[in-house]
Amino acid sequence: MSEEKIKAENRTQFGKGAARRIRRDDKVPAVLYGHGSDPKHITLPGHDTMMALKHGGSNALLYLDIEGTTHLALTKQIQADPIKGFLEHIDFVEVKKGEKVTVDIPIHVIGESKSDAMTVTELNNVSVEAEATNIPEYLEISVEDADAGFQVFAKDIELPSGSVLLTDEDSLIVNVVHAPTAEEVEAELEEAEAEVGIERDESDEEIAEGAAEADAESGVSDSGSDEGGDAGSGDDES
């Protein structure tokens, strides 16, 4: 996993107003917890911290230099603006090399299944106990050229050496299923609409087909009337 060194500063001002002022200076308010010591309230450089988290992911391991003292910190919670994406606040937990921690590791599905199949990700991450310095950014599962029926369970995932799976080993992670055709989707939709009493308006194509059928029936009827009329004339002449 990525290990980045970030220079941090102690923070003495708290509250929403102080946090806004910190972010205006392109810095990020954060808290470092761990090992029985009081939480350390700090500020981090915004750009450097954002790049470190991009490299290390949700479980990024950072070396925080807090006024000359280095702390090994595991990222635990990231708050970011949902629209603009800038970092609002970060929680870290202090760890030691060799120490085991519990983390959720994201699942990345790669590859394309067969054209008549579709891939469903049932779980987006798995819980693992691992050494703080040996946590992968994500776990890859390949579905390249997989047929419908292909499945991957938690117990099938390869974990880093020394790690322990905490998620139920029989949990379904990835499921490759039959991809429904357009006709099957349409049939299911019509069935669902019928169950709740929804009536569809006729499409332009259906209206045109109905009109053509009506014209055809009208033509047959007119033809029959003409034949009957001719027969009647023959009787009068006789």
Q: How far is residue 201's CA from residue 207's CA, in Å, rounded to a whole number?
A: 10
What are 38-62's pLDDT values in tens digits?
899 999 999 999 988 887 778 889 9
Q: How far is residue 215's CA from residue 226's CA, in Å, rounded to a whole number?
A: 17
Helix (H) or strand (E) holding 224: helix 204-237
What are 76-132's pLDDT values in tens digits?
999 888 888 889 899 999 999 889 999 999 999 999 999 889 999 999 999 999 998
Spatial CB neighbours of 39, under 8 Å, sequence gap ≥ 6: 31, 32, 33
CB contact at 8 A, 127 and 95: no
In terms of phi and psi (left: phi > 0; alpha: psi -120 to 50; beta: otherwise), the region of 85 is: left
Would you state the structure tokens that stand for residue 65, as one six-digit string? 């230099």
Q: Rounded to two decimals, what is the model's pTM?
A: 0.68
Predicted local confidence at residue 238, as pLDDT: 42
Q: How far is residue 95's CA from residue 1's CA, in Å, rounded to a whole number?
A: 14
Phi, psi values for residue 229, rounded to 5°: -65, -40
Predicted local confidence at residue 176, as pLDDT: 96
What are 155-201's pLDDT values in tens digits?
999 998 889 999 999 999 999 999 887 787 777 787 787 777 776 66
Task: For residue 33, give the amino acid letter.
Answer: Y
Cβ-based neighbour number of residue 73 at 10 Å: 27
